[in-house]
């Protein structure tokens, strides 16, 4: 299929074309990269914008269950929902793909939902780009909400937050009164904290945990992109489908406010800039590993070791002769 055809079909919301296009952006082949680039460039003008919601949480906290319930609630409102995942380590046993598709059984059968498992790749940079491009494809294909899930390990939250309009942090009720070692940096990027499993025996623990986090959030520096009262902590039960409507209302209130105060556009602009700069950095690093830069680097390193060149002099040569073009 050629790019023009793929483009037209995506705009007509053809799911198979969307799936094929995502396969294209996931491919590492140079000709596929070129086609993907052309396709994304062509789709850029579609003007469609989805609400991009990032969702993070440690293994077992209930992300899949939440996405299933929340997604079903949204599609019942007539919204089209796409689910993508950033899985940096493919750490999940048994493969996230099949596991999640079976856990999101109802949602994966819903004609208004589209679930795309994470590509199995370990390099976070590559995953980030592919996910970002998949988000753009879903937007062009007319999805109203794109959920981007990540397991809360290390850096992937930041990556997801950098491609989301709204970032949700899912937590489990804590046993004692300790905060669950959530890093300050993660707290700082959360827009809404959802303490899940607020049901049955865990309900009280969930409410206590929620109060603890609400307190912790109040201690953080106020961010310009938040109206009074945000970021916010609340309890939900993904399993019993409690609190999801309220959570959605809160998200909409926040997003509405951000739209009215230009923060939506500013954030998207800043994100576009961030990813541009990131791509340049990654591209330069990749070039260092290719011929002739790789060999030149080794040769110059030897000169430096042998005292035939100074570190800065050799670095200068490297940058000017091998990385400039
Ligand atoms: N009681 C209760 N259990 C829940 C709730 N949500 C999820 N669970 C249970 O918690 C377990 C893990 O849920 P998942 O949705 O698979 O969690 P996950 O975050 O997707 O886990 P990974 O994919 O391994 O990262 C399952 O046994 C769920 O049934 C909830 O709201 N209440
Ligand atoms: Mg899961």
User: Helical H runs in the chain?
Assistant: 3-11, 15-26, 30-43, 63-76, 96-103, 105-109, 124-140, 156-161, 184-189, 203-219, 244-260, 263-288, 293-305, 311-317
Mean pLDDT per 10-residue interval, the chain, length 325 residues:
92 95 90 93 90 93 95 98 77 48 82 83 70 95 95 80 95 71 83 97 94 91 92 97 98 97 95 93 88 93 97 94 77
Q: Are 77 and 191 in contact (CB under 8 A)?
A: no
* CA dist., res. 29 & res. 37, Å (int): 12
Residue 63, helix vs strand vs coil: helix
Query: Is the Cβ–Cβ distance between 76 and 140 less than 8 Å?
Result: no
The ligand minimizing its distance to the Cα of 205 is 1
| Full 3-state SS string of 127-176 | HHHHHHHHHHHHHHCCCCEEEEEEECCCCHHHHHHCCCCEEEEEECCCCC
Check residue 121 and give its pLDDT: 57
**pTM, rounded to two decimals:** 0.90
For ligand 1, atom 24: residue with the closest CA? 59
Q: Which among 75, 38, 70, 76 has a CA at the least distance from the CA of 55?
A: 70
Query: Does residue 232's CB lie within 6 angstroms of at least one atom of ligand 1?
Result: no
Cα–Cα distance, 156 to 148 (Å, whole number):
11
pLDDT of residue 185: 83
pLDDT given at position 28: 82
Find out whether 220 and 260 touch, Cβ atoms under 8 Å.
no
pLDDT for the residue numbered 177: 52
Round to whole Å and give the CA distance between 253 and 191.
Answer: 12
pLDDT of residue 91: 45
Cβ(229) – ligand 1 distance below 6 Å: no
- Give the model's pLDDT for residue 38: 95
What is the C-alpha to C-alpha distance for residues 267 and 261, in angstroms, rounded to an integer? Answer: 11
Mutate to test the pocket of ligand 1, among 58, 61, 64, 65 (most ligand atoms within 8 A of CB): 65
């Amino acid at each position: 299929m050629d790019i023009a055809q793929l483009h037209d079909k995506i705009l007509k919301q053809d799911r198979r074309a969307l799936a094929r296009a995502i396969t294209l952006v996931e491919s590492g082949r140079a000709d596929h990269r070129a086609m993907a680039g052309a396709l994304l460039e062509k789709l850029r003008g579609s003007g469609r914008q989805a609400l991009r919601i990032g969702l993070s949480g440690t293994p077992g906290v209930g992300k899949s269950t939440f996405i299933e319930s929340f997604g079903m609630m949204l599609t019942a409102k007539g919204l089209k929902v796409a689910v993508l995942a950033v899985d940096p380590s493919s750490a999940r046993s048994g493969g996230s793909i099949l596991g999640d598709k079976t856990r999101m059984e109802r949602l994966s059968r819903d004609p208004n939902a589209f679930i795309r498992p994470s590509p199995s790749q370990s390099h976070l940079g590559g995953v980030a780009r592919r996910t970002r491009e998949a988000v753009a494809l879903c937007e062009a294909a007319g999805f109203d909400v794109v959920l981007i899930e990540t397991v809360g390990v290390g850096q992937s939250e930041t990556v997801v937050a950098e491609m989301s309009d709204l970032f949700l942090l899912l937590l489990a009720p804590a046993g004692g009164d300790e905060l669950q070692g959530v890093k300050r940096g993660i707290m700082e990027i959360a827009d809404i904290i959802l303490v899940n499993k607020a049901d049955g025996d865990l309900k009280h623990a969930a409410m206590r945990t929620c109060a603890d986090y609400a307190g912790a959030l109040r201690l953080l520096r106020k961010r310009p992109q938040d109206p009074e009262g945000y970021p916010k902590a609340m309890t939900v039960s993904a399993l019993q489908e409690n609190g999801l409507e309220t959570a959605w209302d809160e998200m909409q209130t926040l997003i509405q406010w951000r739209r009215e105060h230009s923060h939506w556009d500013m954030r998207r602009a800043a994100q576009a800039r961030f990813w541009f700069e990131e791509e340049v950095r990654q591209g330069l690093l990749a070039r260092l590993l290719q011929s002739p830069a790789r060999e030149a680097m080794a040769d110059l390193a030897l000169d430096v070791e042998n005292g035939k060149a100074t570190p800065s002099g050799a670095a200068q040569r490297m940058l000017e002769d091998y990385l400039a073009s």
